[in-house]
Chains A and B, each alone.
Chain A
């Protein structure tokens, strides 16, 4: 009996070990190194403990502004994904298999396109003299040619397009586990179509919505390719600033401090969110 349980606990550990080893090497090791670097001096007296890198972030309103923009954009992107993604997931869950497959393919199509091509597409649409500008001009809504490239609106649009599938697919999984009989019951007891979605489907899909929106939030807060290509150099976000510190200015200490701050604030937002949503999801 005792040997049986021993083997049972050893085997899962064995199965987990490749993943754990990979995580250790590719995530924890560099993360700890980064953490150390953010507290160490560079230059002539390299290697001493210091808080100067952090002081620079706190004292300087430029980086505070960059951080604020990053979190504001991530929140807007997550909210929009929820707003668009939930109804979409509901429709997909009720659709026939063919329609559902088509919708799934459509929604993950942007993910399968290279970021450069996707961004170029947005440039053609949003850029000065692009399709959007031309259409609005033809309709007489604007006089001069306009551009959403290098604007926050442009970044939000491009990011929602890429991140939507993460939310839709996780939510779809949650909705799929709701027994159809529950909704049928609510309908027979007098709830309308939207009433049934609001009172039954929505609360029961909270776990999917929660993990989906967490993914979206985490991905948008740390992304820098789309923001830098669509947003341009004048709209800095934290990940872009970190990239520039590391590869352009070679200020690794400061770049590390920015990274640690990004991670800490993200955790501060994500952990309470997980706790709250798990309670909401669990109660119903």
Chain B
């Protein structure tokens, strides 16, 4: 037993060495992904098929958006990444600092299939949004027979004591949900008072949480019946067996884009562009919706009825989605955090 395993691993090592030797002739593309099941899905949908199609090797560095931005800054003169993925709006900061390269629409064969919001920043260096989270309302289908239609419904007395609000100071989805409540209440990015007043009004009959597992606990224990949060998390709850459904309110859901960006100064611009183009093809867009319930950003992504009912999908619904300026959010976030903490403090 032991000898055979030694033999096997020797054979394995030799094979690997041979493969590695063969691979050295291949071109290598260096990208980041976000780890865990996300990265696995990323490999299945994009990375592995891309490697096979173009006979190249894709080196994946597991790094969240903030780490990736830090690395890009440090490697500014000699970038090690060719393509980087960002969530949480950090591509705006990176593009503003000249760390990302603009892309011409003609450089992407799938450009025409994309929703306009997904390719709006190409000329500034912001890569295409290859899939997007959407913030809307999650509700308990056992307790609530008629789906809520407006963000303001969370103030409905029928839900009193069962409203779950996510902390806007420590949770990006919480912040985006709050900004939308603020907009619906008559505020803007220059004035969040209406939103704060709205939240203060429902605080006595709400629970405020800061981490997504707490959302699951509160739905599981029956404390939460309605909560502004993300469509993909509704799917996590459904998979856990909870009677939870996501709905985009009439005023629109909020986009939380995930982008694939071309690093400025990469020596493999052509291959990197091919990878980006490959990332936004309809099949990948569809795959993200099927695996994690992110909204497709490619208009040609055809979803099954079941998946389509769980994500914001189709031109009519996608047109309702709201985008908040990531640069403005970054500039004001610290002041907002402070105002928010005060507003909700007991």
Contact = CB atoms under 8 A, between A and B. Distances in A.
A and B from one complex: yes
Interface of A: 62, 65-66, 120, 123, 127-130, 144, 147, 150, 228, 232-236, 244, 248-251
A129 B337 contact: no
Given A123-B217, A233-B170, A249-B337, A62 B342 contact: yes
DSSP majority for the B interface? mixed
B345 A234 contact: yes
Interface in B175-212: 203, 207-210
A250 B345 contact: no
Nearest to B337: A249
Contacts of A130: 221
Given A244-B337, A248-B169, A250-B334, A233 B221 contact: no
Given A232-B209, A233-B210, A127 B223 contact: yes
Interface in B291-346: 333-334, 337-338, 341-342, 344-346
A128 B219 CA distance: 11
Contact of B170 (A66, A127, A235, A248): A248
A62 to B, nearest CB: 5
Given A128-B221, A249-B338, A234 B208 contact: yes
Given A123-B217, A249-B334, A232 B223 contact: no
Contacts of B344: 233-234
Contacts of A251: 334
Contacts of B208: 150, 232-234
A249 B223 CA distance: 30
Interface in B143-177: 161, 167, 169-170
Contacts of B337: 244, 248-249
B222 interface: yes
Given A62-B345, A244-B337, A248-B337, A232 B210 contact: yes
Contacts of B207: 128, 150, 232
B318 to A, nearest CB: 31
Interface residues of B, number: 22
Contacts of B167: 233
A129 B346 contact: no
Contacts of B342: 62
DSSP majority for the A interface? loop
Most chain B CB atoms below 10 A, which of A120, A128, A236: A128
Nearest to A130: B221
Contacts of B169: 233, 244, 248-249
A279 B341 CA distance: 44
B223 A233 contact: no
Contacts of A129: 221-223
A73 to B, nearest CB: 13
Contacts of A150: 207-208
Given A233-B210, A249-B337, A244 B221 contact: no
Contacts of B345: 62, 65-66, 234-236
Contacts of A147: 223
A127 B338 CA distance: 28
Contacts of B334: 249-251
B213 to A, nearest CB: 9
Contacts of A249: 169, 333-334, 337-338
A244 B344 CA distance: 15
Nearest to B344: A234
Contacts of B209: 232-233
A256 B223 CA distance: 37
B229 to A, nearest CB: 15
B334 to A, nearest CB: 4
A128 B346 CA distance: 19
Nearest to A62: B342
A232 B341 CA distance: 12
Nearest to B221: A129
Contacts of A232: 207-210
A25 to B, nearest CB: 24
Contacts of B203: 234
A23 B221 CA distance: 45
Nearest to A150: B207
Nearest to B346: A234
Interface string B96-135: 0000000000000000000000000000000000000000
A199 to B, nearest CB: 44
Interface in B218-271: 221-223
A232 B214 CA distance: 10
12 contacts: A66-B345, A128-B222, A144-B161, A233-B209, A234-B203, A234-B208, A234-B344, A244-B337, A248-B169, A249-B333, A250-B334, A251-B334
Contacts of B210: 228, 232-233
Q: Which 4 A-B residue pairings sit nearest by Cβ, starting from the closest?
A: A128-B223, A249-B334, A233-B167, A233-B210
A62 B343 CA distance: 10
Contacts of A244: 169-170, 337, 341
Contacts of B333: 249
